[in-house]
Amino acid sequence: MTTQSNKKKYIIYYIVSEKHIENFLRIKDFFHNHDFIVVYDQVLDKKILRKYNENFQELNDYFYKFMNKYKYKISIIYFSTTQARYSSLNLVYNCFINNIPTIAIQETHQFYLHNEELNNYILPIDKIFVNSKFEEKIFLNYGYRKSNINVVGWGYNVYYKQKFELIYDKKIILILLNASKDINVISIEDAKHQINLINKIYSKLGNSYKIIVKLHPSELKKNYCKIKNSINENISIFLNEYNSNALIKNSEFIFSTGYTQSILEAILLNKKIILIPNEKNMNLLEDTNNYIVDYNKLEYLMKNYNYDELEKIAYVNDIYLVGKNFDENFIKYSTQLINNYNNHFKIYNLIETSLWFSFFNKDQNAIKILNYLNKKNAFQYSSIIRSLKNFYNNKYDYRSLIDLFDFFEKTNTFFVYKYLVIRKLYKKINFNPTLIKYLLIEEPKYLFQIFFNDRQRWLNLLIYKNKINLFKKLFTKDYSENYKFFNSKSIKFKLYVLLRKNIFLLSFFPFYKKINLIIFDIFINDRI
């Protein structure tokens, strides 16, 4: 690892994708009195790193040795993601025990664009920098602490210099596509669907406009080739050849299937956005009528485009908190945390972290955290720490289980604990009213994927305990709200679900309820 100065302090920036590198480059000049180290997760393709002249370090044991040695010189660690993955969890944990401030940076207006769903910012963290007041409101609705959130704005690079100009004899329509099912399991788009909508737009507008298609940057090469070979040769299609920003700047109209930050980027650049809605429950559809209902009326929609509706989207998302506004907020709130860091919530964060370690089947790490807290004399949480330690060691009583439910209620960690209780007690669960009241509290939809396996185990337990009506109610709700995720699963699992759904008939067969548990644990669980 390159240590560039003995006098300067360090700022660590944790990344898992190339987009995160671009975000890092946006803020690296904010703190000239620090040396930056960009720590990358092992999931990142190392070929990407060669494109940049930065101080990169892989997240491994060598980095943790450096971190422990220089912990007093590390001012802060920025997280591009705090998804529920073990590598991120271990880094968060090491920050907490070394008293290093942590900040997660929201890179998109995720709640607005994804209909209040979330797949990030799950693990405990000191601060989350969010893009807008709307995003802050939804975080608070989901039980995040207000003191943990700062509205800094959107780190969009308004200083980006256009390096090229697309020259055609027609004005340009840019079609921005979402990730396909092949790279995003809950996407409803596949190559066939995308080919169909491209061809529809070309048939209506191809004579009047130059059509350019921009695929998701992570899209599979095979899908790129399939689409390219299935559309008119006059249509240009790009994967990673050009920056989306440059393509947007060169276009007259932007067509989008939704969910992409490029929609807000186009609004900021005063471009005309037309949505191609794949689903009826998009937040965007509530704030604009500039979307396709009938392709035969597309030209009329374009001629009578309503710019005023873009202002509503801009207002809801605070998209003018960019440039200097973002810079000032980012520096201000970062400096506040660095200069006044006493980690008031450190103990609570570590307790949450211990639960996540247990969720990843690392009970030894979980107990290690509790032993650490005991040494730090965390008196105000002593009973909780004692109950948790007994829980990890499979020594518990129902009173302590309920006390822990009360302690974690109204936080994301509540659901980690809920499914750990189901894992550990399983067939031993006594369906008394107090315990069931907590077990029946439903996790938000955005947590469904994280707890999917454990959720299936819970449903199977209901069958085993002969709670058939409750099973049917919960399964029906799960399937209707998350059908895309179910449909992304293997054929084997879909057959299993079909079989289990007919539990009313199968329950007449002797031993089915016990056999179902065995089938799930041996053949289905951890493979679905």
Alpha carbon separation from 174 to 166, 212, 266, 298 (Å, rounded) = 12, 5, 11, 15
Would you say 308 and 326 are in contact if contact means Cβ atoms under 8 Å apart?
no
Residue 357, token pair as written in the block: 């370690």
Task: Reply yes or no on whether the pLDDT at 462 is more than 60.
Answer: yes
pLDDT of residue 3: 54
What is the CB neighbour count within 10 angstroms for residue 52? 14
Q: Who's near 303: CB < 8 A, 6+ residues apart?
A: none
Bridge partner list, 449: none
Strand order in the sheet with 236-238: 236-238, 210-214, 172-176, 253-256, 272-275
Q: Which residue has the higher pLDDT, 396 or 184?
A: 396
CATH superfamily of 172-320: Glycogen Phosphorylase B; (3.40.50.2000)
pTM for the predicted model, two decimal places: 0.89
What's the pLDDT band for 35 if we cut at 50, 70, 90? very high
Burial call 55-94: b when 16+ CB within 10 Å, e when fewer: bbbebeeebeebbeeeeeebbbbbbbbbbbbeebbbbbbb
Q: Is 141 exposed, middle or buried (0-12, 13-18, 19+ CB in 10 A)?
A: exposed
**Interval 113-171: pLDDT, tens:** 887 877 789 999 999 999 999 999 999 988 898 999 999 999 987 765 556 677 788 99
Q: Percent of the chain having pLDDT more than 90?
A: 52
Would you say 38 and 56 are in contact if contact means Cβ atoms under 8 Å apart?
yes
pLDDT of residue 246: 83
pLDDT of residue 191: 87
**Interval 264-314: pLDDT, tens:** 999 998 899 999 887 766 778 888 888 888 889 999 999 999 888 888 899
Task: Reply yes or no on whether the pLDDT at 224 is more than 60.
Answer: yes
Q: What residue spans define the domains of the chain?
A: 9-157+323-340, 172-320
Bridge partner list, 76: 11
**Interval 96-112: pLDDT, tens:** 999 999 999 998 998 99
Residue 398, token pair as written in the block: 């129902």
Alpha carbon separation from 30 to 8, 35, 244, 460 (Å, rounded) = 14, 11, 25, 53
Would you say 89 and 360 are in contact if contact means Cβ atoms under 8 Å apart?
yes
**Interval 468-520: pLDDT, tens:** 889 999 999 999 888 878 888 888 888 888 888 776 556 656 677 778 888 88
pLDDT of residue 142: 87
Residue 240: name the closest of 259, 214, 210, 212 by CA.
Answer: 214
**Could you give the CA distance from residue 113 to residue 284 in angstroms, rounded to a whole number?**
7
Residue 39, token pair as written in the block: 């720590």
Residue 9, token pair as written in the block: 């302090």
| Counts for the chain of helices (H) and strands (E), in that order | 26, 12
Where is average pLDDT lowest: 37-41, 104-108, 160-164, 195-199?
160-164
Instruction: Please give the radius of gyration of the chain, using alpha carbons only, rounded to the nearest integer.
Output: 25
Task: Reply yes or no on whether the pLDDT at 445 is more than 90.
Answer: no
Task: Reply yes or no on whether the pLDDT at 527 is more than 60.
Answer: no
pLDDT of residue 367: 96
pLDDT of residue 357: 98
pLDDT of residue 509: 64
Would you say 8 and 34 are in contact if contact means Cβ atoms under 8 Å apart?
yes
What is the CB neighbour count within 10 angstroms for residue 404? 24
Residue 153: name the closest of 132, 172, 137, 168 by CA.
Answer: 132
Task: Reply yes or no on whether the pLDDT at 182 is more than 70.
Answer: yes
What is the CB neighbour count within 10 angstroms for residue 505? 10
Q: Which residue has the higher pLDDT, 45 or 435?
A: 435
**Interval 371-398: pLDDT, tens:** 999 888 778 889 999 999 999 999 988 8
Average pLDDT over residues 166-177: 88
**Could you give the CA distance from residue 222 to residue 228 in angstroms, rounded to a whole number?**
10
| Best CATH choice for the domain 9-157+323-340 from the list 3.30.379.10, 3.30.465.10, 3.40.50.2000, 3.30.1600.10 | 3.40.50.2000
H helix or E strand, kind and range, residue 9: strand 9-15
- Torsion angle defined by CA atoms of residues 389, 390, 392 and 394, in that order, rounded to the nearest 10 degrees: 170
Rounded (10°) angle between helices 398-408 and 382-392: 120
Task: Reply yes or no on whether the pLDDT at 218 is more than 80.
Answer: no
Where is average pLDDT lowest: 94-103, 234-243, 248-257, 365-374?
234-243
Residue 259: name the closest of 290, 281, 238, 241 by CA.
Answer: 281
Report the mean per-residue pLDDT for the chain.
Answer: 88
**Could you give the CA distance from residue 498 to residue 477 in angstroms, rounded to a whole number?**
15
Average pLDDT over residues 23-39: 92
Task: Reply yes or no on whether the pLDDT at 75 is more than 70.
Answer: yes
Same topology between domain 9-157+323-340 and domain 172-320 = yes
Task: Reply yes or no on whether the pLDDT at 334 is more than 90.
Answer: yes
**Could you give the CA distance from residue 21 to residue 217 in angstroms, rounded to a whole number?**
14
